[in-house]
Amino acid sequence: MSPTTATQTNAQAIRRGRLLRPLRIAGGRTWHTPGNPNGRVAQLLQPGAAVAVGLLFLVPILWMLITSVASDADVFTFPPRLWPAWDFSNYAKAWGKSPWLTYFGNTVLIAGSVVLLVLITSLMAGFAFALMRFRGKGVLFLLVMSAMMVPQTVLLIPNFIIAQKLGWYDTYLIQIVPWGASVFGIFLLRQFFLTLPKELFEAAEMDGAGPLRMLFSVAAPLAAPSLVLVALNSFMGSWNAFVWPYIMTKSDAVRPIEVGLQAFYGTEGTDWTGLCAAVSFTTLPIIALFLFLQKYFVTGVYGTQGSVRG
């Protein structure tokens, strides 16, 4: 499925009056695809193979959970004991050894701020690029899109120097502001706004609405499904971020959860029950989020695919 078809599907859905659910439709369609019946043997083997593949991918997660409730003696035996010992004290032990609440708080603060900034900047820039006419629009759009080509690793050295020059080293700011605009977000919203009928805005203009009111009271509510995708994309990026906050900060007071987890791994490297407990309680929130918002995650994959189109 190409991004063009995705936007076309959206446009069709909108024309059919299903304005608020185009992305759900796209997600649902790809997640539950009717396929072709294969040969009889394949039909018998297929469910077994599917179950095997699914379980194989779950093994590391299950092993993490099992080790997190294993007793220390069980961990250091070979062959390993595969059945859980239900020793939940590992969680208390791991929780007491690091300032996890601070890490969680920092992650929520940083991810929340990044999401808020990204939503605002994407709405504004996406609106301007889709619906307004101004000089240098093409060049500016190209400039924004080109930002996507730069790998994060390339940016580490210069931004480390810039962070120190700005006095932003080891602060929340350096973890928030540079990620406050997203090419993916701008592109996705521009694409969405392009699908809206021009009459909508002409009518608003007749009513005397300026561009700002048009953006925030007419366009933004309609863009809700795209905004969810953009928010989710930024939130996940922020939560999973490691190398940037690792380089740009040094104190626990501002460090996010994954950097904290790495530090815990550094000091407790052989306490496997404690480590697996820590990995579990830092990762289960993300897994829960995924299970609740699965369709949006999947649609997001096609959104990323779309964001690479010029």
Partner 1 sequence: MAYLLILPALLIFLVFTIGPTVFTFVVSTFKWNWLNPDQNKFVGLANYQMLVDGSQDPPFAATLLTSGYFVGAMVVGGTAISLAMAMLLRKAGRINVAARTAVFLAHVTPLVATSIVWVWIFNPRFGLANLVMSWLGIPNIDWLGNSRFAMPAVIIYSLWHEIGFTTVIFLGGLTTISTELAEAARLDGCNAWQEFWNVTFPQLRPVVIFVIVVSSVASLQAFTQFFMMTGGGPGFDTATLGFQLYQQAFVFRKTGYAAALAVVLFGITVALSILQLRTTRSLGRNA
Contact positions with partner 1 (CB under 8 A) in 105-144: 120-122, 124-125, 127-129, 132-134, 137, 140, 143-144
267 part of the interface to partner 1, by CB under 8 A: no
Give the interface segment with partner 1, choosing from 45-53, 84-92, 195-203, 216-224 (CB under 8 A).
45-53
Q: Which is nearer to partner 1, 88 or 292 (CB)?
A: 292
Tell me the closest approach of the beta carbon of residue 86 to partner 1, in angstroms.
19
Verify binding: residue 227, partner 1, rule CB under 8 A. no
Nearest-approach distance from CB 31 to partner 1, in angstroms: 6
Establish if 88 lies at the interface with partner 1 (CB under 8 A).
no
Comparing CB distances to partner 1, the nearer of 17 and 120 is: 120
Q: Does 30 bind partner 1 (CB under 8 A)?
A: yes
**Single residue of 12, 38, 89, 217 touching partner 1 by CB under 8 A:** 38
Shortest spacing between CB 75 and partner 1, in angstroms = 6
With CB under 8 A as the contact rule, the residue among 20, 92, 142, 147 that binds partner 1 is 147
**Least distance CB 14 / partner 1 (angstroms):** 19
Amino acid at 196: L
Q: How far is the CB of 152 from partner 1 (least distance, A)?
A: 7
- Is there binding between residue 73 and partner 1 (CB under 8 A)? no
49 near partner 1, judged by CB under 8 A: yes
Q: Measured from the CB atom, is 96 or 266 closer to partner 1?
A: 266
Interacting span for partner 1 (CB under 8 A) from 78-86, 92-100, 195-203, 221-229 = 78-86
- SS3 annotation, the chain: CCHHHHHHHHHHHHHCCCCCCHHHHHHHHHHCCCCCCCCHHHHHHHHHHHHHHHHHHHHHHHHHHHHHCCCHHHHCCCCCCCCCCCCCHHHHHHHCCCCHHHHHHHHHHHHHHHHHHHHHHHHHHHHHHHHCCCCCHHHHHHHHHHHHHCCHHHHHHHHHHHHHHHCCCCCCHHHHHHHCCCHHHHHHHHHHHHHCCHHHHHHHHHCCCCHHHHHHHHHHHHCHHHHHHHHHHHHHHHHHCCHHHHHHCCCCCCCCHHHHHHHHHHHCCCCHHHHHHHHHHHHHHHHHHHHHCHHHHHHHHHHHHHHCCC
Q: Are 119 and 181 in contact (CB under 8 A)?
A: no
Q: Is 32 in the site for partner 1 (CB under 8 A)?
A: yes
